[in-house]
Amino acid sequence: MDRIVIRGGVPLNGSIIIGGAKNAALPLLATALLTADPVRFTNVPRLADIDTMANLLAQHGVSVERDGANATLTAATITSTTAPYDLVRRMRASVLVLGPLVARCGEAIVSLPGGCAIGTRPVDLHIEGLKALGAEIEIDGGYMKAKAKGRLRGATIRFPVVSVGATENLLMAASLADGVTVLENAAREPEVVDLANCLVAMGARIEGIGTDRVTIEGQERLFGCDYRIMPDRIETGTYAAAVAIAGGDVELIDGRLSLLGSVCEKLHEAGCDISETPNGLRIRRNGVSVRGVDVMTAPYPGFPTDMQAQLMAVMSVAEGASMITETIFENRFMHVPELARMGASITVHGASALIRGVKELKGAPVMATDLRASVSLVLAGLAASGETIVNRVYHLDRGYERLEEKLAACGARIERAAG
Ligand code: UD1
């Protein structure tokens, strides 16, 4: 199993190209199930999770042609409506095929995703939403078995909690339903907006995009389209956090400041200088130390849970104390004991972590059990003295394209070691 080896203490200087957003690309690829026409995407990130989704779709009979950052998907006929356990357990976002399959084929059998490193993560909202659209769903043998007589029917659905995935599944299903669907308390994440915009390009009629009340007028059929996937705001935020912890001056090409929102505010409060450039954004921290800031994760436009671990790494070397509260997922502090092994001073009380900034982190062999936790250890390694070895690199490969090359190009002493 590959490892990432970092010898920290070097500020980052240069530029990094930000890729297409993983969490936008995953539902976007699933939209191909909604039409028999080819759907062409550009700016597709090259990540393990994207390969998993492509394999799942191919398994449903979708032809998937990929060429670098381009992908053309054609679901002329759907040969299987079953999403098997073996693929779904690898990536929870596989559950995004449920809505499109029931809407297009009137049936779907999708494995329940099962346990997950960052909490229980149920799918009840996906199920209840589709039931409201007229699907019958039973759980049998670890699978969700959904059936609809004819087309799904539009309905008003009020989500009791904000869910990105459930909003996306319902947006896709409602686009092919008979009549009008209203999604209340819908997720407003930019990735949801990207999906809605693509559905509109495919012929869907959607109002209220980007608000918490989205109205979808279902169509009898949708069409192919060309669509460019938005830049990855979490990748952007992660490299911004890398500059925050290591110091330096880096341009994040294709990164979009407007997508960073609260992450930008917090990094600014912590002492970083962030500005827009003609090609993206620039982040600097030169000669000033990082200051402790308090953060609470929340649905968009709040601070993203997917940036929580990275910010905690930064706060571990800040001047003063910080409090980070995680409100989206339980059990999303797995990076804490690993950061502590590097010398961080962090105390967890329930959903909050109190971080007392230390002068220096010290390199150590570490590992983490999820994507963002793993990358937070890479960030810590960039600032630590000595050598940090991050094991279980496959987590990083799920969501960061050529991470070590991008950081090394800015001067970081980081490399991938095989075996
Ligand atoms: C997506 C992102 C993930 C991010 C998360 C929150 C993708 C592929 N993944 O995950 O990176 O961390 O949004 O921004 O886009 N919930 C229920 N019942 C459900 C569904 C969710 O109770 O049926 C709860 C979850 O347990 C969690 C909260 O709702 O507490 C938010 O989860 P959700 O927004 O659905 O996350 P995902 O879509 O899985």
Output the average pLDDT for the chain: 96
* Nearest residue by C-alpha to atom 17 in ligand 1: 122
Atom of ligand 1 nearest to the CA of 49: 8
Confidence class for position 121, pLDDT limits 50, 70, 90: confident
Percentage with pLDDT > 90 across the chain = 92
Express each pLDDT in 226-251 by its tens digit: 999 999 999 999 999 999 999 999 99
Q: How far is ligand 1, taken at its centre, from the CA of residue 7, in Å?
A: 35
Q: What is the CA radius of gyration of the chain?
A: 21
How many Cα atoms are found within 13 Å in the side-chain-facing hemisphere of 379? 31
Residue 190, ligand 1, Cβ within 6 A: no
Asked if residues 93 and 22 have their Cβ atoms less than 8 Å apart, the reply is no
Of the two residues 266 and 116, the one the predictor is more confident about is 266
d(CA 282, CA 294): 23
Single out the residue of 2, 45, 19 nearest to residue 414, CA to CA: 2
Residue 91, ligand 1, Cβ within 6 A: no
Express each pLDDT in 216-225 by its tens digit: 999 999 999 9
Express each pLDDT in 39-88 by its tens digit: 999 999 999 999 999 999 999 999 999 999 999 999 999 999 999 999 89
Q: How far is ligand 1, taken at its centre, from the CA of residue 164, in Å?
A: 5
* Nearest residue by C-alpha to atom 21 in ligand 1: 163
Q: What integer pLDDT is reported at residue 377 of this predicted model?
A: 97
Q: To test the ligand 1 pocket, which listed residue (328, 330, 334, 371) has its Cβ within 8 A of the most ligand atoms?
A: 328
Q: How far is ligand 1, taken at its centre, from the CA of residue 23, in Å?
A: 11
Q: What integer pLDDT is reported at residue 331 of this predicted model?
A: 82
Both tokens of residue 71?
Answer: 């992908």
How many Cα atoms are found within 13 Å in the side-chain-facing hemisphere of 182? 4
Is 114 a residue whose pLDDT tops 80?
A: no
* SS3 (DSSP) at 180: strand
Contacts of 140 (CB under 8 A, 6+ apart): none
Residue 161, ligand 1, Cβ within 6 A: yes
Q: How far is ligand 1, taken at its centre, from the CA of residue 121, in Å?
A: 7
Q: What integer pLDDT is reported at residue 172 of this predicted model?
A: 98
Atom of ligand 1 nearest to the CA of 165: 38
Confidence class for position 392, pLDDT limits 50, 70, 90: confident
Is 252 a residue whose pLDDT tops 90?
A: yes
Asked if residues 366 and 377 have their Cβ atoms less than 8 Å apart, the reply is yes
Is 24 a residue whose pLDDT tops 80?
A: yes
| Choice among 116, 198, 225, 264 that is catalytic | 116
Q: Cβ–Cβ contacts within 10 Å for residue 275, how many?
A: 11
Q: How far is ligand 1, taken at its centre, from the CA of residue 196, in Å?
A: 18
Largest distance between two CA atoms of the chain: 65
Q: What integer pLDDT is reported at residue 372 of this predicted model?
A: 93
Q: What integer pLDDT is reported at residue 287 of this predicted model?
A: 85
Q: What integer pLDDT is reported at residue 119 of this predicted model?
A: 60
Mean pLDDT score, 266-284: 97
Positive/negative CA dihedral, 355, 358, 361, 364: negative
In order, the DSSP letters of 202-242 are TT-EEESTTSSEEEEE--S-----EEEPPB-HHHHHHHHHH
Express each pLDDT in 368-378 by its tens digit: 888 999 999 99
d(CA 344, CA 315): 9
Residue 25, ligand 1, Cβ within 6 A: no
Q: Where are the alpha helices (DSSP H) in 89-212?
A: 98-105, 124-132, 164-175, 190-201
Residue 124, ligand 1, Cβ within 6 A: yes
Q: Which pTM was predicted?
A: 0.97
Mean pLDDT score, 1-27: 96
Q: Which of 39-48, 66-75, 107-116, 177-186 has the lowest mean pLDDT?
A: 107-116
How many Cα atoms are found within 13 Å in the side-chain-facing hemisphere of 330? 6
Confidence class for position 118, pLDDT limits 50, 70, 90: low
Asked if residues 105 and 81 have their Cβ atoms less than 8 Å apart, the reply is yes
Mean pLDDT score, 150-167: 97
d(CA 180, CA 401): 39
Q: Does 264 participate in catalysis according to the annotation?
A: no
Q: What integer pLDDT is reported at residue 90 of this predicted model?
A: 86
